Amino acid sequence: MNPLDYGHSFLLGKWPDNEVRFWVESRTRIIDTRTGSIEDYLQAGACKSERTFAERDLFMDDNYDFLPVFGPEWGVIFRRRAMAHDGYRSCLAAREMWGGQVYHLVEAPTAQELATNAAIRAATYAFAPIVAQTQIECAQTGLRAIIEYPVKTLNTHRSRDLYQVDTGPIVLPDLTARHQRHVEAMRLAFVAFNAPHFADFVVEARTRVGDAEIYHYSDLLTLPATNRLFALPAH
């Protein structure tokens, strides 16, 4: 999977009343090893609930976070209000999300895999754009996923030759069960790793705070993984 250039990759809605453009923030590829099918899901950047094209008061009073994920046939929209609610996740046919999508996905013309900690640190200090790919799989279900995302935060330690990625949100699928639609098992998460063989996730989940319930990144998960980092040409 050639890395995307996330600075130049977008989606455009086809609905004439609102040809909205979304920035692509991550890509999750789901591979069914039993059938050979491959599906890509594109997570767009988050925004806030709004009255589109109104003359005033553009943000809604009962405001909420709004984050869509687009797939080949089905998509999912996450709406996070101040309090937990039943409408947090909405699964829709992709054609019903702004009338379908025009994809503008730009692959990086060249991408150098960073195979050592020293190479990762060197690309960091050179301010090169860095893209990560985290592969997870479940032998019992025969499902595999490659989660790809631009690295927004990257910690380094020169004298100890260490690094650590901490980035999100990304789309984390639950591969432990086979679902009729992959979007039914998708969750939002942040990912962290500092080695090529595992990844830690903190997943957004219904979380109790005192007498109330909210959605918060609170569910901790560690998975065996294959992590790869790529340096893209600096612009």
pLDDT digits (tens, 9 = 90+) for 134-163: 999 999 999 999 999 999 999 999 999 999
In this prediction, what percent of the chain has a pLDDT beyond 70? Answer: 100
Separation between Cα atoms, residue 188 and residue 207, nearest integer Å: 14
Amino acid at 185: A
CB 100 within 8 A of CB 116: no
Separation between Cα atoms, residue 128 and residue 146, nearest integer Å: 22
Mean pLDDT of 215-220: 96
Q: Give the chain's mean pLDDT.
A: 96
Q: Is the pTM of this model over 0.85?
A: yes
Mean pLDDT of 2-30: 97
Give the confidence band of 234 by pLDDT, cuts at 50, 70, 90. Answer: confident
In this prediction, what percent of the chain has a pLDDT beyond 90? Answer: 97
Query: What pLDDT was estimated at residue 115?
Result: 97
Give the confidence band of 235 by pLDDT, cuts at 50, 70, 90. Answer: low
Query: What pLDDT was estimated at residue 190?
Result: 98
